[in-house]
């Protein structure tokens, strides 16, 4: 059965087509600059990347072009072979704790939650509508980044602010990267043959979050009301003292929106290093003795170990620390820097085993008190799996 995983942005459309339940990836790619001049798309097929420039008027045009590519490359004979389409939705609020069908009622809730994710939810709805028009016979589903975190208890998802902020305006912790953390937990359970694992999942990329998981359920996560909270990231500051916002507004004559833009797009690795938001560039800067890159890396590691240590205590005992996403899967030095700081907990990495990128592997030493794994994430596969299960 062919299932399409979709992630629609305001001017982009990422996709991966799977043959399920074999979990075989048939084609993937991204349409970019939709509705903007110089639009193009890239597809990955049989290990080869192909880039094509074309006019992309809207998301529907992107889906129509996708159908043409699928037929031209003999992946399908007709669009009716696409049995299901799973849509990634950033914000599901407290309404959804699992993947659901894309009914009109559910889509209207996604639209209603746009104020909590103004850059993401409206774009997702555009993608859903476009997919429905091009693939009228496919089962459409909604897969929420926030759903996995709905098992967090109230004393951890609430903020110590006036209670009516929660009751009147839905101010609470929602988290993000839930589909990725859920995949990591599921993969470890399958590989280790245990469903009772206590896991600290470290999704470290340009965006990052740490999640405490017990028996497959989320106990707490570092991201909060928005994906801005938690650890330091590529361009996001992570946790800060909010009192600095009005202070800097006054000093620089900026609006709240301008300060939020600074905190979301000009902070983190980029803000501290002054060089780049990309961890690879930071590592290169460190090798060259760039002091601000060295500082940025130390601050990033500090923010990560703060949450790992906190969740170590919260869970009572930890079976696995998992590293996933771009930095987590590929940065040998960052994993080493983080685990080195956890030595007081008896956690230790094996330098030889740690010499790995993008592969599922145990990298802890034999005497480590906690097993450490690299677990490549696959949110697209998780979306396809959920969609397959709803079709069944």
- The residues annotated with a catalytic role in the active site are 145
Question: What are the CA-CA distances from residue 191 to residues 3, 150, 184, 186, 304 (Å)?
Answer: 24, 25, 11, 9, 25
**Nearest-angstrom CA–CA distance, 220 and 258:** 30
**Nearest-angstrom CA–CA distance, 241 and 180:** 28
Between CA 380 and CA 388, with CA 385 as vertex, the angle to 5 degrees is 125
8 Å CB contact between 56 and 45? no
**Nearest-angstrom CA–CA distance, 17 and 26:** 6
Q: Give me the sheet containing 12-19, strands edge to edge.
A: 48-53, 40-45, 24-32, 12-19, 2-8, 82-89, 139-144, 100-101
First to last CA, the chain: 11
Chain mean position to CA 297: 21
**Nearest-angstrom CA–CA distance, 70 and 72:** 6
Radius of gyration of the CA atoms of the chain, in A:
21
Q: How many residues does the chain have?
A: 392
Rounded-to-10 torsion of CA 173, 179, 183, 185? 10
DSSP 228: T
Q: Give me the sheet containing 320-324, strands edge to edge.
A: 217-221, 208-214, 198-204, 320-324, 371-374, 361-362
Residue 326: both structure tokens together: 């771009």
**Nearest-angstrom CA–CA distance, 250 and 258:** 12
8 Å CB contact between 145 and 163? no
8 Å CB contact between 124 and 110? yes
């Amino acid at each position: 059965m062919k299932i399409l995983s979709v992630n629609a942005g305001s001017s982009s459309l990422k996709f991966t087509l799977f043959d399920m339940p074999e979990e075989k990836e048939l084609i993937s790619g991204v349409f970019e600059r939709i509705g903007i001049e110089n639009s193009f798309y890239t597809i990955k097929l049989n290990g080869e990347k192909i880039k094509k420039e074309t006019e992309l008027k809207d998301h529907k045009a992107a889906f129509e072009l996708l159908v043409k590519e699928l037929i031209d490359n003999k992946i399908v004979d007709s669009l009716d072979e696409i049995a299901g389409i799973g849509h990634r939705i950033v914000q599901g609020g407290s309404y959804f704790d699992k993947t659901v069908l894309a009914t009109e009622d559910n889509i209207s809730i996604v639209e209603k939650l746009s104020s909590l994710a103004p850059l993401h939810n409206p774009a997702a709805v555009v993608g859903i509508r476009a997919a429905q028009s091009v693939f009228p016979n496919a089962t459409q589903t909604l897969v929420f980044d926030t759903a996995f975190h709905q098992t967090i208890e109230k004393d951890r998802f609430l903020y110590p602010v006036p209670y009516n902020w929660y009751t009147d305006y839905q101010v609470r912790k929602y988290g993000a990267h839930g589909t990725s953390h859920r995949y990591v937990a599921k993969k470890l359970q399958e590989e280790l043959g245990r469903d009772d694992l206590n896991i600290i999942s470290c999704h470290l990329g340009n965006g990052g979050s740490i999640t405490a998981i017990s028996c497959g359920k989320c106990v707490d996560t570092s991201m909060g009301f928005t994906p801005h909270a938690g650890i330091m990231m590529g361009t996001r500051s992570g946790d800060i003292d909010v009192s600095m916002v009005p202070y800097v507004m006054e000093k620089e004559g900026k609006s709240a929106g301008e300060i939020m833009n600074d905190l979301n797009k000009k902070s983190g690795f980029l803000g501290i290093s002054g060089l780049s938001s990309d961890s690879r560039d930071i590592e290169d800067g460190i090798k060259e003795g760039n002091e601000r890159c060295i500082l940025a890396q130390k601050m990033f590691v500090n923010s990560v170990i703060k949450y790992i240590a906190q969740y170590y205590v919260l869970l009572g005992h930890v079976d696995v620390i998992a590293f996933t996403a771009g930095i987590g899967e590929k940065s040998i030095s960052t994993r080493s820097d983080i685990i080195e700081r956890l030595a007081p907990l008896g956690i230790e990495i094996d330098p030889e085993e740690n010499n790995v990128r993008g592969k599922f592997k145990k990298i802890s030493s034999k005497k480590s008190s906690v097993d450490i794994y690299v677990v490549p994430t696959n949110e697209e596969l998780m979306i396809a799996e959920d969609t397959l299960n709803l079709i069944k």
